[in-house]
Amino acid sequence: MSHSAPSEFMRAALDESRAALGHTSPNPAVGAVVVRDGRIVGGGRTQPPGQAHAEVMALLEAGDLARGAEVYVTLEPCSHHGRTPPCTDALIAAGVAAVHYAIEDPDRRVSGAGAAALRAAGIATTEGDGAAEAARVNEAFLKHRRTGLPFVIAKFAASLDGRIAAASGDARWISGEEARDWAHDLRTVVDAIMVGSGTVFADDPSLTARPGGRLARVQPLRVVVDGLGRLPGAAQVFDEDAPTLVATTEASPLAWREMLAARDVEVAVLPAAPDGRHVDLEALLRLLGEHDILSVLVEGGGELLGACFDQRYVDRLYAVIAPVIIGATAAPAAVAGQGAEMMREAPRLRDVTMTQLGEDVLFDGVPVWPDLFDEEIPHTHDDEE
């Protein structure tokens, strides 16, 4: 696979795929362009589930100009009948001369079969252009297809000294307006937002995506982890603005579960963690994967984030650091849990980027655990296909 910068035409296809994020799940966000005589004559991106894929949209725009043209697409074209016909059939029927795809589709129904079908039809087919960038766009889809588990994104806003609230529990606002706007944009491209019951008690958040201050048309699933069944029915996460799933255990009262179910809240009774109080995280993530949830944004609190790090479920971290010092011993930390007893046990971030959001700084990176440092680790956004 090539690790060089994408070609001009694959960059255009990647732009299409990024624009599709948040609208295609559980399908991947794919972009495609049709190129004839050195210019783009058609472009498209995957439509919502049940509608046309990127290649078909690009071919429709190109029309007759697609015959003899080259197609650049960010994922191997599908070759199976799902809710839509195979994209390989559309490419063959259009008479394209070549298809350049960034990465192989790990879905067992496709994985190499799409490229084989194109080559069998006499279409020149190459892989690797823009591979790293395409894998980053679809990192959640790739993990889900390989493991059955959702891609877990940990996210928090903290002070310079790592606190997420003052000693009283007051957390409004650690980060500034630009960071909060960014967070709402992020919510529009994930399938689910997860919090623990402590966060709901402390902040009573709505956990909805509100880019530009307006409720987004498509909302992520709200996942609330409450092993003992303590949350009140009046909490905002149980309103009708977005679907909600509550993960609990047999330790929660049956009447409480029935009350939530009567409000159209999905209640999942899952195995308990060894402490008997908390929900088993692996069971919860497997359930979400079975629900075709490709990505989960874990927004807190520190106890849930700590458990995700302790059990190594975090695939990407977004940390917004605000230029403020809180300092109180009683102030909650961004990440709690068992953590590292020695510095050599602490995970570090790889592929770190830093972005200024007003006065705050966003750190984006991939956690790597110490016992993996010496191994050859494929980058999350640069996976070998």
> Which residues are marked as active site?
55
**What is the DSSP code string of 310-339?**
HTT--SEEEEEEES-----TTSPBSS-SS-
Tell me the C-alpha distance between 235 and 177, whole Å: 24
Half-sphere exposure of 76 (CA within 13 A, CB side): 26
Tell me the C-alpha distance between 382 and 146, whole Å: 15
User: Strands of 244-248's sheet, edge to edge?
Assistant: 266-269, 244-248, 221-225, 192-196, 295-300, 151-159, 316-322, 360-368, 348-357
DSSP 257: H
Contact status, residue 328 vs residue 163, Cβ threshold 8 Å: yes
Contact status, residue 77 vs residue 99, Cβ threshold 8 Å: yes
Q: Report the amino acid identity of residue 239.
A: D
Chain centroid to Cα 99, Å, comes to 27
Catalogue the E-assigned strands of 87-198: 98-103, 124-127, 151-159, 192-196
Q: Report the amino acid identity of residue 144.
A: H
Q: Which residue has the tokens 């959001």?
A: 357
End-to-end CA distance of the chain: 8
Residue 300, classed as helix, strand or coil, is strand
